Amino acid sequence: MPFDGLVINSLAFELKNALLNKKIEKIYQPEEDEILIKFRNVENNNKLLISVNSSFPHLCLTNSQKNNPLNPPMFCMLLRKHLHGGKIVDVNQVDFERIIVISIESYDELGNISIKDLIIEIMGKHSNIILIEQNNKNIIDSIKRIPTSISRQRQVLPGLEYIYPPSQDKLNVFGIDYNTFTNQLQKASKNTQIYKALYKLFQGISPIIAKNICFDAKIDATILISEITNEDFEKLWNGFLYLSNKLNNNEYHPNVIFDSSENKAVDFSSLSLNIYDNQHFTQTFLISISDVINKFYFERDKYNRIKQKSTDIMKVLNTRLGRLYNKLQKQNEELITAEGADKYKLYGELILSNMYQITTGMKNVTVQNYYETNSPDLLIPLDSRLTPSENSQRYYKKYNKYKTAQEKISEQIRDTKNEIEYLENVLTTIENTDDINNIDEIKQELMEQKYIRKRKTNKSKGKKVNFKPHKYVSKDGFMIFAGKNNKQNDYLTLKFASKKDIWLHTKDIPGSHVIIKTDGKEVSDETIMTGAIISAYHSKGRQSSNVPVDYTSVKFVKKPSGAKPGMVIYENFKTIYVTPHEEEVKNLETQDE
């Protein structure tokens, strides 16, 4: 469910209770479409996250930590200038729309107290964060500027007067009576389904809330207006009245709805959604609407940003891999041809052995193959312009040419396979990553390997590896580490690990290097099994069963000279077969304090 008026209503109530008279301590802009405001003396969820991402716009109180750019964006600097140290004096919802206004009292440049309004519009791809002067409604600036080239109806630019988004002429759910309610529904098109009429006529009602009202009233949500009886109108009104009373009394019941078969969040609301009460769905109820929003949006927002950031990289890698697959096919075909070199050597030797029966001008000769018993006679093609000796030498030259080519092609095939293995490993790392910063490290690695062109403004040359691998603790207390990208894999295996530690990697499957730190102690079979499960989870075999994982002592792992990041060879290994389970792996993970 997108943010509707009900969610905004409960959120405004929660923000007002939590933030009123609280002072702004810090302001960050971790993403181009996201603001994070930290408050003083707020115990739980002491930061306000405002995201106007076009795919998942939302806002809530949170404790989440986010990495911030070294150079704050201009809008962040502007907010710091006007709002840093300011006090929250009011939080309210505009009518029943998806707009929250946070009023902040602060000192201006002359030392006078002024009030600024931070307006958050949660409206899909049109979402925005706008700072205005409260007294004259002049726009100071916005995180997304809207010039006439984008919208002729409503511009959002510094210096202009702020105007609320165009109203859709819907009725506010507060304060209407039964007659108004029924009259409005009866004015709707007779062929309109009742639930559509509800959300199109009344502010803050989303399609799912409209269906839920019908469900509680025991009325088919898809029934047409023309088929509604007076009794149905009364049932709908009672459901509508129940809803508005809940809102009037601030009686909220924040909840997230999960698909029980996939354990995936599919919806959320500030009120109970009885429409989901069936065997296929379960509901998790939380005290705070912010907790609900965090739970619902955190993973979605994170993976959406990872996807956005990695799309261009994935395109480059897939294009390169496609070319390499074609190249490998052609090389294999050339190798098959070159492997026929021994035939030409045989022809040359048989011609020399049968010189007495060959004369210049002959186009072919049939001879006995002395090198194989019971072999049929061979028909050898000849160049009629050449002498028997020259024909023999021609085949020897052909043999040497193809023999040399065979060695070169075999070497080229090894190089092509190694490059394919490397790029497939990078692809798997991107597909499995849950860390958006990891994408930047992978991009830097690909720049260094010249798969992506370096920009002139890029200053990350020589940047050290951000060594923050996945960390796990086995049941018997051994630390286990898994690299997040190839540079981390190299560092983990070649520098971080000691010779007596245990190294694990999926067999012939792209994946992360995994290290079990032994500290000189004997490692149990259970810990090795745990390490193997972690290895399989951080590989292309994450969704597979019976994934083969090789393990050996770190001292048997070597990096060939000139090998690409993450590419190693190993010996004296054993293989174990495991089936990775996400929940099991997540339960073992630990974070740096």
For 492, residues 6+ apart whose C-beta sits below 8 A from its C-beta are 467, 469, 481, 483, 513, 515
| Separation between Cα atoms, residue 430 and residue 442, nearest integer Å | 8
Which residues in 52-146 belong to E strands, given as ranges?
58-62, 87-93, 99-107, 113-121, 128-133, 139-142
For 396, residues 6+ apart whose C-beta sits below 8 A from its C-beta are 344, 345, 348
Classified as helix, coil or strand, 206 is: coil
Instruction: Judge contact between 474 and 530, C-beta under 8 A.
Output: yes
Distances (CA, A) of 378 to 350, 375, 565: 9, 9, 52
Q: What is the pLDDT along the chain (593 residues), one digit of tens a residue?
A: 568 889 999 999 999 999 999 999 999 999 899 999 999 988 788 999 999 998 889 999 998 888 788 889 999 999 999 999 999 999 999 988 899 999 999 987 778 899 999 999 999 889 999 999 999 999 999 999 999 998 888 999 999 999 999 877 888 877 788 999 999 898 888 899 999 999 999 888 889 899 989 998 999 999 999 999 999 999 999 988 888 888 888 888 888 887 766 667 788 888 888 887 665 566 676 678 998 898 888 877 777 888 888 999 999 999 999 999 999 999 998 888 887 788 888 888 888 888 888 899 999 999 888 888 777 888 989 999 999 999 999 988 988 888 888 889 999 999 999 999 999 999 999 999 888 888 988 999 999 999 988 766 544 444 454 678 999 999 999 999 999 999 999 999 999 999 999 999 999 999 999 999 999 899 999 999 999 999 999 999 999 999 999 999 999 999 999 899 999 999 999 999 999 998 899 899 987 54
| Separation between Cα atoms, residue 69 and residue 58, nearest integer Å | 21
> Hey, what are 363's tokens?
């186009």
| Closest to 48 in 3D by CA, of 88, 7, 77, 95 | 88
- Helices 5-19 and 289-338: crossing angle in degrees, nearest 10, is 110
User: Would you state the pLDDT for residue 437?
Assistant: 82
| Separation between Cα atoms, residue 555 and residue 501, nearest integer Å | 8
Instruction: Judge contact between 87 and 103, C-beta under 8 A.
Output: no
Other C-beta atoms closer than 10 Å to the C-beta of 538 total: 26
Q: Which helix (H) or strand (E) holds 166?
A: none
User: Would you state the pLDDT for residue 460?
Assistant: 46
Distances (CA, A) of 169 to 97, 166, 187, 202, 513: 11, 9, 14, 9, 59
User: Would you state the pLDDT for residue 167?
Assistant: 77
Instruction: Judge contact between 163 and 154, C-beta under 8 A.
Output: yes
User: Would you state the pLDDT for residue 462?
Assistant: 46
Instruction: Judge contact between 367 and 353, C-beta under 8 A.
Output: yes
Cross-strand partners of 479: 473
User: Would you state the pLDDT for residue 2?
Assistant: 65
For 332, residues 6+ apart whose C-beta sits below 8 A from its C-beta are 413
CATH 1.10.8 correct for 178-290: yes
> Hey, what are 364's tokens?
């072919």
> Hey, what are 156's tokens?
């959002």
Output the CATH code of domain 5-142: 2.30.310.10
Classified as helix, coil or strand, 275 is: helix
User: Would you state the pLDDT for residue 194?
Assistant: 93
Instruction: Judge contact between 290 and 327, C-beta under 8 A.
Output: no
| Separation between Cα atoms, residue 516 and residue 535, nearest integer Å | 11
Diameter over CA atoms, the chain: 119
Alpha helices in 109-193 (DSSP H): 178-187
Other C-beta atoms closer than 10 Å to the C-beta of 453 total: 10
User: Would you state the pLDDT for residue 485?
Assistant: 93
User: Would you state the pLDDT for residue 282?
Assistant: 64
What's the DSSP call for residue 402?
A: H
User: Would you state the pLDDT for residue 593?
Assistant: 45
Instruction: Judge contact between 43 and 134, C-beta under 8 A.
Output: no
Instruction: Judge contact between 492 and 515, C-beta under 8 A.
Output: yes
What's the DSSP call for residue 454?
A: P
